[in-house]
Structure formats: C-alpha cells, structure tokens
Amino acid sequence: MKTFWIIIFFFPVLFFNCGSDSSNNNPAIAEAIAAAQNWLSLVDSGQYPESWQASSEIFRTAITQDQWAKTMAGLRNPLGNLLSRELSSKKYHTTLPGAPDGEYVVIVFKTSFANKKSAYETITPMKEKDGMWRVSGYYIK
C-alpha cells in the first residue's frame, strides 16, 4: 500500500507563517473548523461529487467534479473507514503562497483509518465573497 498521498488544489503545501493571526481566539477559526468538518463528513461517507459541490470556487475551478470523484475514490477508498479524527493544529492566514489574499485557516487533523492507522489531513477552508467558509485545499499524508 502506498504510504503517501497528496491532493492539493490551487496552492502548495501550507505550513508557512505568512500573514497569520497568532490568536487562536479568532472566531473565524471556529467557523472554518466547522466548515472543514462538514466537508470531511461528505468525503468520509464517499459522497465525493457532493464534497466537490460544497467546495470553494477556486477548488471547483482547479478540478472537475468527475476528476475529483475518481481521484478520491482511488485514494480514500483503500484507506477504509474512518476510525478517529483529532484536531492537531489550526492557524489563521490572510495570505498563502500561490493563492489570492483573503481569509484562510490551515487545519491539521491526526486521523486514523481502518487500513491506515496514522495519517495527517491538512484542510484549508477559505472565506468566500458570500461570507461562507468553503474548502479550498486538501492534503493527506
């Protein structure tokens, strides 16, 4: 089984300290985490087309719904069912490499699947023009 999977849309790995708000009390963080968890519930249940539809405009522009569904089926299905997911870190950003300025929260979850006991998921919701937080990037290792 492969030990490393990557799915990132629009911008590169997001572990940079750029334009961040060091306060974890920022209410945007809680909103972004809720949006990420809702989106992940779609992915966890294999609802890949629905997760694409619930993603940010940037995300949907980067990959078609069909490509996303096929990619996710090939990468997530072998992992098996979700066993646990624990918030590992969260950081608010107003700039990210390769992305337009805006509001982002880079969230890392320590995740365990039936066939992959230890994985890390990095998910990046962004606040869109309508004020809603939607996923703009997803990375799993």
State mean pLDDT over 49-76: 96
Q: What's the sign of the alpha-carbon dihedral 102, 36, 13, 87?
A: positive
Interval 67-82: pLDDT, tens: 999 999 999 999 999 9
Q: What is the pLDDT of residue 12?
A: 40
Under DSSP, is residue 22 helix (H, G, I), strand (E, B) or coil?
coil
> Burial, 84: exposed, middle or buried (Cβ in 10 Å; 0-12, 13-18, 19+)?
exposed
Interval 88-101: pLDDT, tens: 999 999 999 888 99
State mean pLDDT over 115-136: 97
Q: Structural domains in the chain?
A: 20-140 (3.10.450.100)
Q: What is the pLDDT of residue 24?
A: 62
Q: What is the largest CA-CA distance in the chain?
A: 41
Under DSSP, is residue 118 helix (H, G, I), strand (E, B) or coil?
strand
Interval 18-49: pLDDT, tens: 444 445 668 899 999 999 999 999 999 999 99
What single DSSP character describes residue 2? -
For 70, what's the count of Cα atoms within 13 Å in the CB-facing half-sphere? 5
